[in-house]
Structure 1
Amino acid sequence: MNLTQRQLRMFVTTAAVGNISRASEVLHISQPALTRALQEFESQLGVALFLRTTRQLALTPEGERFLPVAQRLLHDLTEAAALIQGEATGQRGSVSLAVGEAFGCTVLPDILHAFVKTHPDVRVRVVNDNSQGITRRVAQGEVDFGIGSPVGRTEALRFTKLLSAPLGLLFNPELHQLKAWVRTEALGDLPLLKESSDTSIVSVLRAQGSDLVAHMEPGVEVSSLALQLAMARAGVGIAVMSALGASHRDAADLRFSPLRPTVQREVFVMQQRDRALSVPARALMEAVVERARGAQVHRLVRFGV
């Protein structure tokens, strides 16, 4: 049995107004056409839905039991159609993305602020993770796309370079005096905060053969940008981070000195190669790529390829 949305709407409307004449006006069809359609609907169901009198239509016991079911079905069909139409235009639906803390705290907020204003009915979920976690979440389909520095490349993912930022040292200028550019061999016994081994910064430093990783080893290990800023400010240690992380508004009273020779951290937008994004997800990803250039970040951050 195939019940149509049109049949359900005619039945529910007629039951609500209790009169063929008024129902036909509401539905914008002729009275004979409505009468015929309702009779065909009853024949299809094999049961009478209405008790017909000369002045009023009343529901049969079967019609009374069927009415709430028909109302629910009609509501669900209408909602489903609105959902699909909304997602097709990018105005409804959901988007999930995984981001690194540096990008998420500096560039992403303004982009999301603009996006939610133009897409108020799109639900956005932002997951913070390190680069290894971001890559894994995207590869496993936990999120629509990710923004970070991939730890290891995989053919299953597509990468679009978003920006590059040099690594350097962030410190409290009232406690430490470092040159505008710093060579690792000149650090001496300065205390460095330790990075977790699975971060992109450690991966980049190891790939460059930098001895900075060994220099960090005795330091206090911290696992978030907020902790790095607080510890650097208190003098617990000097933080190794990119110019992007140093762009955090809470780092305004701290000083950033890039490393020499230059070590770049690259940030990419990553997505599954064989997975088509929904219209809202594609719209947000495009907004990230297009609007990131306007972010107020450290002058050494370079956007694009």
Structure 2
Amino acid sequence: MNLTLRQISYFALTAETGSVSGAATAARISQSAVTESIRALEAQIGVALFVRHTRGVALTHEGHQFLRHVKLILATVDDATKAFANRDMSVSGKLNLGVTSLVAGYFLADILARFRRVFPDIEVKVYEEDRRYIEHLLINGELDLALMLTSNLEDDTALARETLVRSRYRLWLSAKHPLVDKSLVQPEDLRGQDLIALDIDELLEAITSWLHAEALDDRIVFKTTSVEAVRSMIGTGAGVAILPDMALRPYTLEGDRLEARPINNLSLTLDVGLVWRRGSSSSAQADIFRTLVTDFKTSRW
């Protein structure tokens, strides 16, 4: 099997844009070239990567698994091409990094893997804590940086932030749920639904005022700190959830398919980014990490 970088690049573009035409436009080539490349790729690896529909394409379960590997391949290639342009391999030392639990689960692994590939002599110590305690550690100078939610940051006077990604809240539901046929869910559609709440990183607090305003706060039937529990319950039809896109995965561990739909009147986002103490002198290790994460965000998020 001889996969080419061009094949996996076209695959990644198609997955990102959701259509062959979008990938062709981004790559500045013909749609037929993208189509033939994906067909050859699917034939080589022996699985269907996309399901075709009238609005474009959607990743299959195997396609999602393959995409994760492709992202790592493309990130490694990107690191290799930039290795001599922007790295000072004499940089060593230690970086103390704070992270909250939800962010650790969805952003940390790929970022750390890339950082360690390019700067293996910098030791990164990661401290997972709740948001309030991380703010305390940053202000006290015990952490150099934190990768965390920035939408609920409290101390703007002492802390600076750089938001990297904004993830909108949508309704998560089973692919078999009656509301899946709606392109835009109305708040009144939820008044007869059981809501499942994910109670980590202050996600529940973030949505509480909106739920109260829409008279939906009494619809919560189950609270959990487990994302997988939320997915599994939705997949089996036990309820629906209002959660940010960044935690969405299209399949549960049991193989049930999940969907997400926008909710009218809900513009709330969950923001993730870097946070550091205002006025503190930044270390070389922290500067390098901030630069790499910003570049990673531009190319991958």
Structure 1 length normalisation: TM-score?
A: 0.57
Tell me by how many angstroms 1:116 deviates.
0.7
Out of 173-182 and 196-205, give the one that drifted further: 196-205
Match for 1:260 among 261, 264, 272?
264
The residue correspondences of 1:26-45 to structure 2 (distance < 5 A) are none
Other structure's SS at 1:221 match:
strand
Other structure's SS at 2:263 match:
strand
Out of 237-246 and 146-155, give the one that drifted further: 146-155
Match for 2:206 among 203, 206, 210?
203
Q: Distance in 2 between matches of 1:104 and 1:198?
A: 11
**Aligned position for 2:232:** 230
**Aligned position for 1:63:** none
**Aligned position for 1:187:** 190
Q: Distance in 2 between matches of 1:128 and 1:212?
A: 35
Task: List alignment gaps of at least 5 residues for structure 1.
Answer: 1-86, 297-305
Residue by residue, what CA displacement relative to the aligned partner does 1:102-125 show, whole Å, maximum 9, x if unpaired?
x43333332221111112232223
Please provide the CA RMSD for this pair.
Answer: 3.3
Alignment check: 8 A CA contact 1:89 1:279 kept? no
CA shift in 2, pair 1:226/1:180, >3 Å? same
Tell me by how many angstroms 1:170 deviates.
1.4
Alignment check: 8 A CA contact 2:95 2:144 kept? no
**Aligned position for 1:291:** 296
Does residue 272 in structure 1 map to residue 277 in structure 2? yes
Q: Distance in 2 between matches of 1:141 and 1:108?
A: 21
**Greater RCO structure (CA 8 Å; 6+ sep):** 1
Other structure's SS at 1:155 match:
coil
Tell me by how many angstroms 1:215 deviates.
4.2
Q: Distance in 2 between matches of 1:140 and 1:207?
A: 34
Q: Distance in 2 between matches of 1:263 and 1:203?
A: 8
Other structure's SS at 1:167 match:
strand
The residue correspondences of 1:1-305 to structure 2 (distance < 5 A) are 89-101=90-102, 103-146=103-146, 147-149=148-150, 150-175=152-177, 177-178=179-180, 179-196=182-199, 199-200=202-203, 202-203=205-206, 206=209, 210-211=213-214, 214-216=217-219, 218-246=220-248, 253-261=257-265, 262-295=267-300
**Aligned position for 2:18:** none
Alignment check: 8 A CA contact 1:94 1:280 kept? yes
**Aligned position for 1:25:** none
**Aligned position for 1:8:** none
Q: Distance in 2 between matches of 1:139 and 1:189?
A: 45
Q: Distance in 2 between matches of 1:288 and 1:212?
A: 40
Q: Aligned AA for 1:258? A: P
Alignment check: 8 A CA contact 1:204 1:265 kept? no
Tell me by how many angstroms 1:287 deviates.
1.5
Out of 263-272 and 198-207, give the one that drifted further: 198-207
Q: Distance in 2 between matches of 1:107 and 1:240?
A: 20
Q: Aligned AA for 1:230? A: S
Tell me by how many angstroms 1:273 deviates.
0.7
CA shift in 2, pair 1:145/1:200, >3 Å? farther
Task: List alignment gaps of at least 5 residues for structure 2.
Answer: 1-87
Q: Aligned AA for 1:289? A: T
Alignment check: 8 A CA contact 1:184 1:212 kept? no
Q: Distance in 2 between matches of 1:213 and 1:141?
A: 41
Name which one, 1 or 2, has greater alpha-carbon Rg: 1
Tell me by how many angstroms 1:221 deviates.
0.8
Question: What fraction of aligned residue pairs are identical, expressed as a percent?
Answer: 17
Alignment check: 8 A CA contact 1:100 1:148 kept? no
Other structure's SS at 1:181 match:
coil
Alignment check: 8 A CA contact 2:92 2:123 kept? no
Alignment check: 8 A CA contact 2:235 2:252 kept? no
